[in-house]
Amino acid sequence: MSEKTLNTFEIVQQQIKDACTALGETQEVFEILKQPKSCIEVALPIKMDNGETKVFMGYRSLHNDAIGPGKGGIRYHQDVCIDEVKALSAWMTFKCGVAGIPYGGGKGGIIVDPRTLSIDEIERLSRAYIRAIAPVVGEQIDIPAPDVNTTPQIMGWMVDEYSKLQGKNTLGIVTGKPVAFGGSLARFEATGYGVALMMREAFRAKGKDIRGSKVSIQGFGNVGRFAAIYAEEMGAKVTAISDVSCCLYNENGLNVKKLYDYVNLPESKNMIQGFKGAEQEFDRNKVFEFDVDLLAPCALENAITSENVNSIKASIIVEGANGPTTPEADRIINEKGIFLVPDILANGGGVMVSYFEWVQNLQNYYWSFEEVQQKQEVKMVKAFNDIFYLKEKHNVSMRVAAFMMAIKRVADAMRARGIVK
């Protein structure tokens, strides 16, 4: 099958197959894990501000709940489709398994470009979505969270609507909420902070120091912004950053905190284009080509392909996005000896702190920002070391080692429950 015919769901199924083969796992386990346990499609009729009614389509997939309730974000994007949601829910199962937290994988999405909607329309859409999927989510069933184009405020609306349906406060139904409404400190920064931690550990594993290294980051949404900020704090020079508007480059290192402040100005429209103190390339894909030590793709899936992988000069790749590397590109990366930290480990900080938020909600006791980040660092460093050990022991890639670890944990739980023999 050529690379062009593979969608994200087929990619994750191949990754599961590769890991099961490396583990010597049974066909029965593969057959269960290659499909989600359930996936629903919902139609959401919304009254628009102009009085018209428009119907939006949404999805929620629960991949596996052998270890614990499902966990995974909700994305609002015009390219959302059912196969993408299924794939992302499977990745979430393995991301939770890698992190060693008692969750399975879930994922949801709505086919919508939120830039075309008003705030009131987004609120009505968000409330309609949580009402529609209410029968298949719950604090001990499947717990949504923010993802692409969804925010703490949207999570707050969803918790409020779900609580009305249940007739009681159910703060643990959704994570990534505003801190004032049951959210956790350090949750907003968690995914990007985790990516930066994995950058540091990747350099350490290669016998190098992150201090003084050159880093390029594709994407300057929530993940890319905080990955850049924390990498800079750890001593790296972030020399290139791209988003949908352009690519910025400064060989001496961009001032990331100033860039962060710039994109939050109303006139910037949340884009990096126009930022002073850097060369500006209108071809945003230039970010892959710079002579840097580490590349972090932190945007959408399928960013690194067979068409651009050979232009990458970095010796380390840390995947901040979900599924940013196609299988063919992954093969070439391995052949070139590039050290790659896979998405299910590298961007696991978000789900890890979501788990911490859920724990805090259930016990109604809340931790400080520093406590949360300390707990995240301990768990992510341990996960990295465990996977690196498997990589060295079995002479496989970090990606295969990560899937091996996660699938073994899920398979062991399924056997303990009697789902498989």
Active site residues: 107
How far, in Å, CA of 326 to CA of 173, rounded? 33
How far, in Å, CA of 94 to CA of 64, rounded? 10
- AA letter at 185: L
Residues 6+ positions from 258 with CB-CB distance below 8 Å: 275, 277
Q: How do 104-111 and 53-64 pair as beta strands?
A: antiparallel
